[in-house]
Amino acid sequence: MGRIDRLLADMSLGEKIGQLNMAASYRAVTGPAAPDGLEEGVRSGRVGSVLNLWGSAEVHALQRLALEESRLRIPLLVGLDAMHGHRTIFPIPLAEACLFDPDTWRETARTTAAEAAADGVNLTFAPMVDVARDPRWGRIAESPGEDPWVASEFAVAKTRGFQGSDLRAAGSVAATTKHLGAYGAVTAGREYASVDVSERTLHEVHLPAFAAAVAAGTAAIMPAFVEIAGVPVTANGALLRDWLRGRCAFDGVVISDYNAIAELRAHGVAADTAEAAALALRAGIDIDMASETYVRGLPAALQRGLVGQAELEASVLRVLRLKERLGLLDDPYGRGTAAGAAMTARPLAREVARRAVVLLTQRRKVLPISADTRHIAVIGPLGSAPREMLGPWAAAGRPEETVTTLEGLRTALPHCRIEFSPGVATAAVDPHGIPAAIELCRTAQLVVLCVGEDASMSGEGGSRAELGLPGCQRALAEAVLDVGKPVIVLLSSGRPLALPWLFERADAVLATWFLGSEAGHAIADVLTGEFNPSGRLPVTWPRHVGQAPIFYGQRPSGRPAKAGERLSSTYLDVPATPQFPFGHGLSSSSFTLCDLRCAPHVLRATDSIEVSVGVRNDSASGGEATLFLFSSDPLASISRPLLELKAVRRIALAAGARGSVGWHLPVAALAFPGAQLAPVLEPGRFGIHVGQSADREQLLSCEIELTA
């Protein structure tokens, strides 16, 4: 009998249930229940893991209670939402997705893991890989965007980064991939609302990233709070048992979201705590996060025959195996003993942040800022807002260590007079500060207008019905634009903002998202020309909130949109096209694509397609082009999306230089879920398309034929 089996055999019922109970700590509040009786729960064996705790002294003190004062001396799992950094905060995931660079995604996760582990954390509730196509939803900020291929690549890179090559290593943490089950498709973008998607959409769009994470070895999975077509994911055995553990062969731990098991009663599928506990355990939930439903409900559920001992013990074994994989049973104090390396991560944070900036428009040549500029007015509530630069889920990030836009510009331009006025507060309706801000603009050569959202307006609970500038910021922006000076707009936000009036008037607009600890230096690098912007949108940017949800991978309509034609798939009052397509992003360089080649033209299912395209830098400055490889299947047994992303490549070219980019694409990548949702690869003609965005009018295309 092995060590884990001996532990299980020695456990009382209460201790078994305790291993499935994750209690909330005091350091961060991420749900409705306040922590209560944590230390006594650890001593008594009623708590097997804890969340929202970090700091080596605090973690080790709690571990000592488990190891010295509990009967079985089983160490704790210590979990935290290290979504985009720990002490060093990187750009929010939506911004980091703008790099389209899995190597960098893995590197930032590796750095985050090292910092979190040095603070005693051994489990992170990340990556979040929900496909998000509705910018009203606040948690789009935490997602990698709208595309299932990108989400899958993100899931793999982050999982491998967090966990490293050895989960027992002192600098590794267990990844918890979340939130399984179409959370990004909540009704009207409203947090915690119902989800109603087809089985096809679920399997084509929302599940691939989780399958990829499982294949990459993710230690844990977290289901979504929500219900899909009437079945809460927390109690969805078909999804958690049959698909996740069955088809995907996942053998790790499933952790509920915060209080989600207790909320089965509010969903209307459980009459009492015992029924809620039984539904979740039978579906495959191993750890109950923060609700204590297992502690209070499982004894009665077992007594009433709602669930069996075998199901309980299977979950306990999975939790113990994770603790063993993390090395906790051999060295429970192994994490939290090394000094943190937060300051050494700052160069990486700066590099990633500047690569995440997306230049949306440049109507006049105002970038980079001219060396002759001697007086700049930084205007807007986000010009000097260190807390907001960190964004939501900033973990152990410290605002006092965060570089603001104002600080970054003053450091980069020491001989330039840079004055600042917030003008208005981010969400307030009091415009009294606008006149003072305008006076600064009148005397300045250039205005840098910093507007957008507070960090609290994105993330969990951050749904917005409007996608405009909050508070009086539009009045401030229009007053600044009316002065007539060159204006560069920096949009800080966790989502695309629908601002057509601003894009039409400002000289340049950059999406600067929430860029993290090095935000100000990164922004200054881009504005001064130290770095040529290279970020590309991982989401489609709407003109109006009424277009949401919006995404490029739509299926063909029998009456596709035609401008001015009423009886087509369009609007009467807004163009059907987005403000900016998926993949959009400008730079100081411009690139031309040519000579797309696909070979061979006739293939079998076991073959691969060799795709190449020429790239020319037509500008006087070196830069990086991002190229997207799409496929299309114009005639199939199931109507297919107009475009499906299959690969991305980047190429750096000096001014006037030429180069080429190639892909080796297996024909198997053209398969899709058939009528029974199993993968099928049908003979016929396929389109291969390459471009710098999902704008179909700008793509180069060729055709291949798959034979039977």
Q: Which of 559, 436, 584 is nearest to 509 (CA)?
A: 584
Please say if 257 is a catalytic residue: yes
- Rounded to whole angstroms, how far apart are CA atoms 635 and 682? 10
Which residue(s) pair with 128 in the sheet?
Answer: 178
Cβ partners under 8 Å of residue 439, min gap 6: none
Provide the b/e sequence for 579-614 (b: ≥16 CB within 10 Å).
bbbbbbbbbbbebebeebebeeeebeeebebebebe
- Tell me, what DSSP letter sits at residue 234? G
User: Which residues are CB-contacts of 242 (< 8 A; sequence separation ≥ 6)?
Assistant: none
Q: How many Å separate Cα 494 from the centre of its chain?
A: 10
Q: Write 431-434 long-range contacts (CB < 8 A, 24+).
A: 431/472, 431/475, 431/476, 434/472, 434/475, 434/476, 434/479
Name the strand (E) or helix (H) holding 328. Answer: none
The Cα 35–Cα 495 span in angstroms is 32
User: Looking at 101, 134, 147, 257, which residue is catalytic?
Assistant: 257
Stated length of the chain: 708
Q: Which residue from 464, 80, 28, 33 is spatially nearest to 263, judged by alpha carbons?
A: 33
Q: How far is CA 304 from CA 301, 307, 309, 633, 665, in A?
A: 5, 8, 12, 53, 55
- CA dist 58 and 291 (Å) reads 22
Taking a C-beta distance cutoff of 8 angstroms, is the pair 94, 39 a contact? no
Quick check: bond before 127 cis, omega within 30? yes
Cα first-last separation, the chain: 53
What is the 3-state composition of the chain as percent helix, strand, coil, each rounded to the nearest 5? 35, 20, 45
Backbone angles phi, psi at 13, to 5 degrees: -60, -45
- Check if the beta carbon of residue 644 is closer than 8 Å to that of residue 683: no
- Inter-residue contact 594 to 698 (CB < 8 Å): no
Residue 297, phi-psi category: left (phi > 0), alpha (psi -120 to 50), beta (remainder): alpha
DSSP per position, 315-327: HHHHHHHHHHHTT
d(C-alpha 43, C-alpha 266), whole Å: 32
Buried b (16+ CB within 10 A) or exposed e, 639-673: ebbbbbbbbbbebebeeeeeeebebebebeebebb
Q: In angstroms, rounded to a whole number, what is the distance separating the alpha carbons of residues 624 and 154?
A: 21
3-class SS letters over 517-573: CCHHHHHHHHHHCCCCCCCCCCCCECCCHHHCCCCCCCCCCCCCCCCCCCCCCCCCC
Place of tokens 């991560």: 345
| Secondary structure of residue 684 in the 3-state scheme | strand
Which residue is it, tokens 């590309």?
536
Number of CB atoms found within 10 A of residue 310's CB: 7
Cα→Cα distances 99→131, 156, 300, 350, 420, Å: 17, 15, 51, 13, 30
Active-site annotation, residues: 257
